[in-house]
């Protein structure tokens, strides 16, 4: 995922920069909604209660991020980009989320042995999103947008940056939580449980399917 508007802080902010900024916020909020569905879907199908709980923790953070990004964007103006065009804005990250969602919706359950590779992809995703939000905090465009928000809501740049920096900290925490899940799954006792047949019926996932 790459910010697709100019980030030279010595240049004057142009209308196109503002529109690209709004488009990025919109697409990022949709991406966070998809991430919420992904973690929720994975939690629903995971076998261990603690693993489910940690994945749901990340899921709810992603839903929170989606709401924050959407709120910031709508406070400034309206994005003109369509959801179907967000892949061009966010690139590989958008495709990776959709691929994982499609993979999970085809599964009725997820074995512990399948999780490590999925968790590795999720750690990479969280790292990329944290980097992008950090870049967003540093942009001259954000300072310009904050002037608009301050006039409407009496919220200054420091307040807005604090909110975004909390999101960055969340992404870093998510990486730690995913490492914890990986550690849990790698314990000898859990590997032994994984090799024990499970005969009871596992109900299908109830989370919404991803939108294309």
CB neighbour list of residue 174: distance below 8 Å, 6 or more residues apart? 58, 61, 122, 126
Give the per-residue pLDDT at 49. Answer: 93
74: its two tokens: 């709508």
Give domain status of residue 66, yes or no: yes
CB neighbour list of residue 140: distance below 8 Å, 6 or more residues apart? 7, 8, 9, 10, 11, 13
Give domain status of residue 199, yes or no: no
Give domain status of residue 113, yes or no: yes
Q: Which residue segment(s) compose the domain that 124 sits in?
A: 15-187
Give the angle subtended at the CA of 43 by the CAs of 42 and 45, to the nearest 5°.
65
Q: Model pTM?
A: 0.77
Condensed to tens digits (0 to 9), the pLDDT of residues 68-101 reads: 999 888 877 778 888 888 888 888 888 889 999 8
Q: What CATH number corresponds to the domain at position 78? A: 1.20.1260
Residue 144 vs residue 12, higher pLDDT? 144
Average pLDDT value over all residues in the chain: 79
Give domain status of residue 7, yes or no: no
Total domains in the chain come to: 1
Give domain status of residue 10, yes or no: no
Three-state secondary structure readout of 128-169: HHHHHHHHHHHCHHHHHHHHHHHHHHCCCHHHHHHHHHHHHH
Give the per-residue pLDDT at 13. Answer: 46
Give domain status of residue 192, yes or no: no
Give domain status of residue 136, yes or no: yes
């Amino acid at each position: 995922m790459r910010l697709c508007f100019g980030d030279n802080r010595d240049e004057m902010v142009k209308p196109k920069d503002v529109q690209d900024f709004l488009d990025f916020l919109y697409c990022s909020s949709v991406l966070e909604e998809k991430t919420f569905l992904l973690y929720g879907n994975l939690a629903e199908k995971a076998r261990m209660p603690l693993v489910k709980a940690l994945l749901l923790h990340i899921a709810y953070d992603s839903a929170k991020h989606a709401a924050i990004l959407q709120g910031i964007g709508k406070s400034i103006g309206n994005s003109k980009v369509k959801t179907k065009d967000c892949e061009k804005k966010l690139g590989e990250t958008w495709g990776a989320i959709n691929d994982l969602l499609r993979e999970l919706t085809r599964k009725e359950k997820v074995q512990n042995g399948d999780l490590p590779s999925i968790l590795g992809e999720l750690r990479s995703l969280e790292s990329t999103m944290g980097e992008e939000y950090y870049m967003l905090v540093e942009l001259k465009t954000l300072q310009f947008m904050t002037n608009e928000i301050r006039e409407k809501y009496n919220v200054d740049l420091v307040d807005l940056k604090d909110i975004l920096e909390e999101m960055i900290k969340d992404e870093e925490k998510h990486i730690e939580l995913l490492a914890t899940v990986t550690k849990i799954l790698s314990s000898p006792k859990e590997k032994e449980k994984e090799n024990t047949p499970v005969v009871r019926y596992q109900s299908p996932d109830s989370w919404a399917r991803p939108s294309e």
